[in-house]
Amino acid sequence: MSLMKLLGTPTRRLLWMSPCRIGTVFFKCFATSNQNTPTKNKYDYDLLVLGGGSGGLACAKEAVEHGARVICFDFVKPTPVGTKWGVGGTCVNVGCIPKKLMHQASLLGEAVHEAVAYGWNVNDQNIKPDWKKLVKSVQGHIKSVNWVTRVDLRDKKVEYVNSMGVFVNDHTIEYKTKENETKKVTAEYIVVAVGGRPRYPDIPGATEFGITSDDIFSLEREPGRTLVVGAGYVGLECACFLKGLGYDPTVMVRSIVLRGFDRQMSELLAAMMVDRGVTFLHTTIPTAVVKQPDGRLLVKYLNTSTLAQNSEIFDTVLWAIGRKGLIDDLKLDAAGIKTKNDKIVVDGSEATNVPHIFAVGDIIYGRPELTPVAILSGRLLARRLFAASNQLMDYADVATTVFTPLEYSCVGMSEETAIQKHGSENIEVFHGYYKPTEFFIPQKSVRHCYLKAVAEITGDQKVLGLHYIGPVAGEVIQGFAAALKSGLTIKTLLNTVGIHPTTAEEFTRLSITKRSGRDPTPASCCS
Amino acid sequence: MSLTLWNSRFSITLVRQHTTIFTSARTALTENAINSSHLSQNFLQRRHFALNLMKTNTGGDGGRAPSNSRNPTNNQRGSSQPRYTRNASMSQGAAGGGIPFEHPHCDRIAMYDYESRRNRITRGPYDYDLIVIGGGSAGLACAKEAVACGARVVCLDYVKPTPLGTKWGVGGTCVNVGCIPKKLMHQASLLGEAVHEAAAYGWNVNEKIKPDWNKLVSSVQNHIKSVNWVTRVDLRDKKVEYINGLGSFLDPHTMTIKMKSGDRKITSQTFVIAVGGRPRYPDIPGAVEYGITSDDLFSLNREPGKTLVVGAGYIGLECAGFLKGLGYEPTVMVRSIVLRGFDQQMAGLVADSMEERGIPFLYQYVPLSVEKLSSGKLLVKYEHSQSGEVRSDTFDTVLWAIGRKGLVDDLNLANAGVHTFKDKIQVDSYEATNVPNIYAVGDIIYGKPELTPVAVLAGRLLARRLYGESTQRMDYTDVATTVFTPLEYACVGLSEEDAVKEFGADEIEVFHGYYKPTEFFIPQKSVRHCYLKAVAERHGEQRVYGLHYLGPVAGEVIQGFAAALKSGLTIKTLMNTVGIHPTTAEEFTRLNITKRSGLDPTPASCCS
């Protein structure tokens, strides 16, 4: 009955765990399938989901669809400054959605200037955004999504409890009702999908005076001069939309920008931001935040290479130094679930060390923290548990994008990873700068419009990774992600006819290898 | 100086000649064939030759018909089997025109297996190795590549002014009166929309805006001029001889060129015809005198005002779309259907999305006459093609977008013995015409997609086959394309109709869905027509035959999927591809409702 039976021999299990690049291999690992018919008697529920974010909801809804009795717990602890939100988790409330909307707002400010260049008689002098109106619009949209989510849950008959569920044992969860009564429920399977929240640094004034991405999208006052601490994608995205909206962000970088991403692309992206007037403080860490009598914030910081101490005054300090998994309140020990750092360790079937307890989404240790990953793995898990599916989540070659003004998107390996895995003599990198047609009239800088394909050097030259900096990067890369999963080679890429005039077609025009040493700047446009 | 140049060229030629001669017996065979080829040689003979060649090359595996030759050792993913043979019927159909016409590009493997004929670079009795007629995308790409391979090349380019007097520089349709100005005007129109959106997002902009047509035109034209200039410099750098003159054939190796400075006669071993096409005018009173085409619109020195766009192909719809976005009042007159050749469900949605934006469509109407009124406005009479009802209306501008014709008329192709079909030239899968030393690429080819990147790639590959070491032919299947209407439409592969025709309705599965772009909510933009679908094999591995997308930045979205299709994309792979959130492209990875199921394809939740 349990999934463990399905795992079969240790060899099979090994196959599961191996980092297969091609998802189809997974299917073939199984000879038989196993339908877990919902049990009506022993437990209150067939499935209990902790967390009402992307991963949890997707899993809960899919399970109900296959006839399981499901309950979903969702609870948001307010941030130190008191921000809280509704159902749907990080993405909808304090992540992708508000971030993309703020990014769009910032691009539209740029578009107004471009419109002038194209002949529109719009006054683009001293245009300013109305922060409050923007926040209201963004929050209005979020509330509507929350509402749609609630309706969706009701329609699909997912029982939803707005409370913090805590483990009593490996089948039992305890929670407090609105009336402050303590209740217990039991379930055959439990899925932990509680996600993560931003970290605060351990320095004086951090929690009292600083905010995080949990607060910025609903901030009641204009952010003004902002110190963004951290140069991961969250930090860079926030700094960029703040810049685009006319504020004055400074990015404090402890070591490198965009850790985990391709180094060349990351440095190019940082250079693009510097070009647009974002200040960077490199190899610097904050040491204290002090509130001034006028309400502004004095930030003391230390340059770790020169050891110089300095301080500066900001209106807002935004911590973007990373996110931690929300395991603390769950009493995982009561169920005997193993953790690592602040995350939960799972195997290829998202099972924890307790075979009937699973984890999906950002709470998993060592997997990409992305909404679509969480959704797909949650859904696939539900299908495996309740719909006789054998399909495992394929975490390889997950595309992602960074919504900076010139966006950066990539799929597959970074150049470094490719070199590390295959050796630089076995890698060919095709690269090129390009000039988007629309950039000419408004004379937008094309200096950082760059793309590259990392491939094997032999045979048909299998593509290992694609990287693109430019407009609408996510839209450009998505299709190539499907291509990579289909076994894209350089030969196929170069035989793919472009769509003219787009920027995505530049991938089909890549002809210069890094090895050749030739100039990767473009000459002609249409021949 | 010129002598030194000539010398160096000659030595390159010599070296090449030797390598060519000594590389392989196959090449020698090829050359024999070329030398023995005469005017009388027809396609059948060449086909025979190709067959023989196949036998020679494949040894024991000889005797296979080239049309189904399949290399069993070729295990390249995505091409281990010919996907479909949709052109089989077409090749039969065209045969009625007198010339046996092949579409061997239906078999992709064959394309890589065929040995191509390679021209010897030889000074011989000729002035040039190659004369390229036409300085557009295809011609320039071919000329530049040929020079890079060591050939002596001259490129002829000449633009006849339009009836209104519009003319332009080097680079052909795309740069001067096609993709580039069109995309810029489209962008201008989107930016007008963006200003309103900016206000919705909280920017303090005044929304009462108007475009300055003259400023826009001069910006667009300046950009074009700069591209012309870059192109000229590029040609000079790459040592492609360029003649601004109109060429016509005297015989298969000789051409006379009309230039400002007088006529000149030149000879060449090989010719590539890449003269492209120009818009048609209808044969009705006033059409040429008072109407304009896309050749004139992008440099029009007055505001277009109320415009009648006749024709609902992609050019007509794009022009109507950006004119509306710029605040003018376009009306689209449709003779029969919108976006012929495209998926008709998608075409219908494109038309609906334009009507929703306030562009009227006159369905089933054909224009009868155009008269100029004393006010300067144009009175257009038009007739309902079924009821015969005649109506009239006045417009400031009448734009013909009823199709394009190939520019074969001035070439005197009869002198060279090149057959034409309608106003185009038929070629085989090597882009060769019925005359073996004369090739054609780009829009002048009959029955191939008229698209810049197709022309560029075909021209480049042709040059590499002629003068380089390549044998690779152009693959015309699964060419993606996009229509820059306000809500853009892009597609790759088969339309739903074609898939049904090809495989039968029972054998295909269509996955579809409406979706809501995140950015559309705040400015409350209509999401009614944001729709996408995947047409796939119903059984087995569910190979994807076609993808269709209506929404923002459609071309950017589809390009990658075009590469995926070429790599053998299946529905399973598509659904296992993790989305990039929040984008609109990710909707392809979320497709799960089939048309067959009858389930509602409207979306519910956003992020779970």
Confidence of residue B602 (pLDDT cuts 50, 70, 90): confident
Q: Is B478 left (phi over 0), alpha (psi -120 to 50) or beta?
A: left
The whole-number pLDDT of residue B124 equals 74
- CATH number of the domain to which B375 belongs: 3.50.50.60
The one catalytic residue among A171, A282, A356, A500:
A500
The whole-number pLDDT of residue B606 equals 61
Q: How far apart are CA A417 and CA A414, in angstroms?
A: 5
Same domain for A141 and A175, yes or no, is yes
The whole-number pLDDT of residue B125 equals 87
Same domain for A179 and A52, yes or no, is yes
Query: Which residues of A are known binding-site members?
Result: 100, 165, 230-237, 322, 362
Beta strands at A323-325 and B361-363: parallel, antiparallel or unpaired: unpaired
Percent of chain A residues past pLDDT 70, beyond the cut: 91
- State the nearest Cα–Cα gap between B278 and chain A, in angstroms: 18
- State the nearest Cα–Cα gap between A232 and chain B, in angstroms: 17
Round the average pLDDT of chain B to a whole number and report it: 84
CB–CB of A503 and B556 under 8 A?
A: yes
The interface predicted TM-score of the complex, written ipTM, equals 0.91
**Per-residue pLDDT for A525 more than 90?**
no
Domain that holds residue B25: 1-115
Same domain for B196 and B326, yes or no, is no
Alpha helical stretches, state H, A233-370: 233-244, 263-275
CB–CB of A101 and B203 under 8 A?
A: no
Residues 6+ apart with CB under 8 A from A66: A382, A383, A386, A387
Q: How far apart are CA B544 and CA B577, in angstroms?
A: 14
- CATH number of the domain to which A89 belongs: 3.50.50.60
Q: Is residue A30 domain-resident?
A: no
Clarify whether A500 is annotated catalytic: yes
The whole-number pLDDT of residue A521 equals 86
Same domain for B409 and B268, yes or no, is yes
> Average pLDDT of A191-219?
98
**Per-residue pLDDT for B21 more than 60?**
no
The whole-number pLDDT of residue B13 equals 36
Tens digit of each residue's pLDDT (9 = 90 or more) over B156-198:
999 999 999 999 999 999 999 999 999 999 999 999 999 999 9
Same domain for A205 and A179, yes or no, is no
Pick the residue from chain A with its C-alpha nearest to B453.
A498
Domain end residue (candidates: A289, A321, A353): A321
The whole-number pLDDT of residue B453 equals 95
Same domain for B428 and B492, yes or no, is no
Tokens at A424, concatenated: 């630089």
The whole-number pLDDT of residue A432 equals 96
Confidence of residue A17 (pLDDT cuts 50, 70, 90): very low
Tokens at A374, concatenated: 């969480």
Domain end residue (candidates: A270, A294, A321): A321
Same domain for B444 and B360, yes or no, is no
CB–CB of B574 and A109 under 8 A?
A: no
Same domain for B269 and B341, yes or no, is no
Same domain for B362 and B443, yes or no, is no
Percent of chain B residues past pLDDT 70, beyond the cut: 79
Same domain for B86 and B157, yes or no, is no
Domain end residue (candidates: B115, B137, B155): B115
- CATH number of the domain to which A476 belongs: 3.30.390.30
- The structural domain count of chain A equals 3
Which one of B211, B579, B580 has the shortest CB-CB distance to A119?
Answer: B211
Same domain for A150 and A50, yes or no, is yes
Same domain for B33 and B171, yes or no, is no
Q: Is residue A479 domain-resident?
A: yes
CB–CB of A477 and B560 under 8 A?
A: yes
Same domain for B302 and B159, yes or no, is no
The whole-number pLDDT of residue B165 equals 96
Tens digit of each residue's pLDDT (9 = 90 or more) over B307-355:
999 999 999 999 999 999 999 999 999 999 999 999 999 999 999 999 9
CB-based contact A238:A213 (threshold 8 Å): yes
Domain end residue (candidates: B477, B507, B531): B477
CB–CB of A92 and B607 under 8 A?
A: yes
The whole-number pLDDT of residue B19 equals 37
Contacting residues of B for A474, CB less than 8 Å apart: 580, 583, 585-586
Domain that holds residue A116: 45-198+324-387
Q: How far apart are CA A484 and CA A477, in angstroms?
A: 10
Round the average pLDDT of chain A to a whole number and report it: 92
**Per-residue pLDDT for B265 more than 60?**
yes
Q: How far apart are CA A234 and CA A96, in angstroms?
A: 10
Same domain for A55 and A159, yes or no, is yes
Same domain for B325 and B394, yes or no, is yes
- CATH number of the domain to which B516 belongs: 3.30.390.30
Query: Which residues of A are known binding-site members for NAD(+)?
Result: 230-237, 322
b/e per residue, A139-148, with b = 16+ CB within 10 A? Answer: bebbeebbeb
Contacting residues of B for A121, CB less than 8 Å apart: 209-212
- State the nearest Cα–Cα gap between B389 and chain A, in angstroms: 40
Three-state DSSP class for residue B151:
coil
> Average pLDDT of A431-449?
95
Q: Is residue B419 domain-resident?
A: yes
Residues 6+ apart with CB under 8 A from B186: B318, B321, B322, B325, B484
Q: Is residue A80 domain-resident?
A: yes
The whole-number pLDDT of residue B36 equals 39
Q: Is residue A84 domain-resident?
A: yes
Q: Is A429 left (phi over 0), alpha (psi -120 to 50) or beta?
A: beta
Confidence of residue A372 (pLDDT cuts 50, 70, 90): very high
Domain end residue (candidates: B421, B455, B477): B477
The whole-number pLDDT of residue B429 equals 93
The one catalytic residue among B38, B48, B539, B581:
B581
Same domain for B327 and B466, yes or no, is no
CA pseudo-torsion sign B421, B423, B429, B434 = positive
Of A192-196, A487-491, B102-106, B229-233, least confident by mean pLDDT is B102-106
Same domain for A188 and A208, yes or no, is no
CB–CB of A133 and B202 under 8 A?
A: yes
Contacting residues of B for A148, CB less than 8 Å apart: 604-606
Cα distance from N-terminal residue to C-terminal residue, chain B = 72
Same domain for B238 and B313, yes or no, is no
- State the nearest Cα–Cα gap between A22 and chain B, in angstroms: 9
CB–CB of A109 and B195 under 8 A?
A: no
> Average pLDDT of B62-73?
36
**Per-residue pLDDT for B29 more than 60?**
no
Confidence of residue B80 (pLDDT cuts 50, 70, 90): very low
Same domain for A160 and A212, yes or no, is no
Tens digit of each residue's pLDDT (9 = 90 or more) over B99-128:
222 222 223 333 333 444 555 555 678 999
- What count of residues does chain A have? 527
Q: Is residue A24 domain-resident?
A: no
**Nearest-10 Cα torsion for A248, A252, A256, A260:** -70
Residue type, B444: I
Tokens at A327, concatenated: 């395991």
Contacting residues of B for A104, CB less than 8 Å apart: 201, 518-519, 522
CB–CB of B76 and A503 under 8 A?
A: no
Q: How far apart are CA A224 and CA A247, in angstroms?
A: 5
Q: Half-sphere exposure of B19 toward its Cβ, with a 13 Å CA cutoff?
A: 13
Query: Which residues of A are known binding-site members for FAD?
Result: 100, 165, 362
Pick the residue from chain A with its C-alpha nearest to B579.
A372
Three-state secondary structure of A454-466: EEECCCCCEEEEE
Same domain for A452 and A410, yes or no, is yes
Contacting residues of B for A478, CB less than 8 Å apart: 557, 560-561, 577, 579-580, 583, 585-586, 588-589
Tokens at B564, concatenated: 């995926």
Domain end residue (candidates: A387, A412, A428): A387
The H or E element spanning position B242 is strand B241-243
- The structural domain count of chain B equals 4
Same domain for A450 and A495, yes or no, is yes
Which one of B183, B191, B566 has the shortest CB-CB distance to A111?
Answer: B191
Of A132-136, B301-305, B472-476, least confident by mean pLDDT is B472-476
Q: Is residue B437 domain-resident?
A: yes
Q: How far apart are CA B245 and CA B268, in angstroms?
A: 16
- State the nearest Cα–Cα gap between A96 and chain B, in angstroms: 7
The helix/strand count (H/E) of chain B reads as 19, 23
CB-based contact B308:B493 (threshold 8 Å): no
Which one of A137, A401, A498 has the shortest CB-CB distance to B522?
Answer: A137
Same domain for A334 and A466, yes or no, is no
Same domain for A112 and A261, yes or no, is no
Q: Is residue A359 domain-resident?
A: yes
CB–CB of B205 and A122 under 8 A?
A: yes
Same domain for A205 and A177, yes or no, is no
The whole-number pLDDT of residue A378 equals 97
**Per-residue pLDDT for B91 more than 90?**
no
